[in-house]
Amino acid sequence: MMRIATGDFEDRHRLINRRGTWSAKWESLPSDHISLSVAEMEFVCAPAIRSAIANAAVRGIYSYTEVFPDFAGACTSWFTRRHGTEFGEESVVFVPRIVEATAMICAHMLPARAKVITLSPAYDPIMEVVRRCGCQVTEPAMRYADGAWQIPFDQLATMLPDADLFILTNPHNPTGRAFTPKELERLAALLDQSSCLVLSDDIHCDILRAGQQWSPLARYADAGLRTRLITALSPSKSFNIAGLEASALIVPDPALRARIRDGLRAAGFHNPNYFAIPAAIAAWTQCEEWLDTTLAYIDNNMARFAPRFAALFAKEKPVIPEATYLFWCDTRALGAAAAKEVCTAAGVHPSYGEGFGAQWRDYLRFNLAAPQSLLDAALERCEAAAQKLK
Ligand SMILES: Cc1ncc(COP(=O)(O)O)c(C=O)c1O
C-alpha cells in the first residue's frame, strides 16, 4: 500500500462550522463547545465525491434508484487494489447501513431469543439493535496485556459452540486493534467448531496507521465457515460519507446470500438513497490519493495529541491505535468522575466509556479525525479545566 508521510494538508487544517446542518455530532451543543465524539471526520470529502453528488443534485429529480453491477465492480476493485483481497462481484450485496443490516440479520435470520456473542467494549448502536431484536447478548471482555488489547480466546472457546451469531469488529472500535493473521487464524479455528452465523464488521478497515494491515477473517475461513460468514464493508468511514448510506455485505456462499436477500426484502430494503451509489463508486474508484493524505494527517494527529490526552487523563503511556481515528484513553490517573468533570467544565465532548458497556466507565474515546487547531483548542481547554479543578 502506498503511503505518504506528509502532504498538502490545507483542506485537513481547515475548520468547518457544521452547525446549521442538522449534524448529529454538533447541532445540539452550545456554540462554543467542541465535539470529539461521533465517528466521522471533520474534513471535506474528496473532490470526486463532491462532483458526483453535485452532478446528481443538479438533475433535480430525486427518484428511486437501483443497484447495478457497477457498484459491486467498484467495491471489488477497491479491495483488490488497496488490500489485495479478492472476492467475486456476485458476493456483494448492497445495504444502506451496517447497523440496519445487523438488525435485519437478527430479526429475520436468527431464532427467537438467539444467543449473540461479541467482544466488549462494543459499538453501542449495533448492540442496541441486537438487544431490541430480542437476542440474548454475551460480551466477553477484551483484556489489556503486554501493552495491547487481546481477544479472550479461552472464554470464546466455551461460548461459541452454543451461539447463534458471533459479531467481530475488525479493526476494533473502540480499542483500535487491527487483528493479526495469527489472531484471526485462531479465531477462525474456534468458529470452525461452532455452527453460528458470523458477521465481521470491517467498516474501519481502510483507516490504518502507516505500516499496519487489515486482514479479513474471510482469508482464514475454511469452506465450512465460508458458508456462514458475512463481511460488512463500507466507504462511509474511509471517505467521510456516512450520511449518504452506502455499504456492502460480502457473502461468498450463494445459499446464505439468498437468505440475506430474502431478509432484506422482508425488512423493506430496496432502492438505495439517490446519492448513495454515485458517491460510493466515486469513493472506491477515484479517491485513493485523498485517503492517503487523510491517513497521513490522522497519523500525525495520533502521534501529537494522543500522548497529550494520555498525560492528562491516563496512568499509562498511550496505546496508539493500529487502526481507526479513535483514541481509547483510560482515565485512571484522574478517575472517571473527575475526567468527566474536566470534560464538562472544558465544554469538550468525547464519547464516554460506559456507552461501550458499563464496565468501561474508566475510558474516554476521543475522535482525532479533526483539524489540529480544533484538537489543540480541546486539549488546552481540558488542561485548563484540570488545573482549575485540582
Ligand atoms: C464498528 C462500527 N460499525 C458500524 C458503524 C455504523 O455503521 P452504519 O452507519 O453503516 O450503520 C460504526 C460507526 O461508528 C462502527 O464504529
Summarised one tens digit per residue, pLDDT across range 106-164 is: 999 999 999 999 999 999 999 999 999 999 999 999 999 988 999 999 999 999 999 99
User: Mean pLDDT throughout 8-27?
Assistant: 93
Ligand 1 centroid – CA 387 distance (Å): 36
Phi, psi of 71 (to 5 degrees): -65, -50
Bond preceding residue 121 cis, omega within 30 of 0: yes
Q: In the predicted model, is pLDDT for residue 70 greater than 50?
A: yes
Model pTM? 0.96
pLDDT of 350 reads: 98
pLDDT of 5 reads: 52
* Mean of per-residue pLDDT scores for the chain: 95
Cell of 325: 481515528
Ligand 1 centroid – CA 242 distance (Å): 9
pLDDT of 1 reads: 44
43 CB neighbour count, 10 Å cutoff? 22
Q: Which residues contact 340 (CB under 8 A, 6 or more apart)?
A: 352
Ligand 1 atom with minimal separation from the 245 CA = 10
Ligand 1 atom with minimal separation from the 100 CA = 11
Ligand 1 centroid – CA 98 distance (Å): 6
pLDDT of 333 reads: 83
pLDDT of 7 reads: 60
Residue nearest to ligand 1 atom 7, measured at CA: 98
Q: What is the per-residue pLDDT across 71-106, written as a single tens digit (0 to 9) for each?
A: 999 999 999 999 999 999 999 999 999 999 999 999
Residue nearest to ligand 1 atom 13, measured at CA: 39
d(CA 36, CA 187): 33
Ligand 1 atom with minimal separation from the 102 CA = 11
Share of the chain above pLDDT 70, in %: 98
Q: Which residues pair with 198 in a beta bridge?
A: 166, 229
pLDDT of 2 reads: 45
Pocket around ligand 1: residues whose beta carbon is below 6 Å from it?
Answer: 39, 97-99, 123, 126, 169, 173, 201, 203, 234, 236, 242, 247
Q: In the predicted model, is pLDDT for residue 4 greater than 70?
A: no
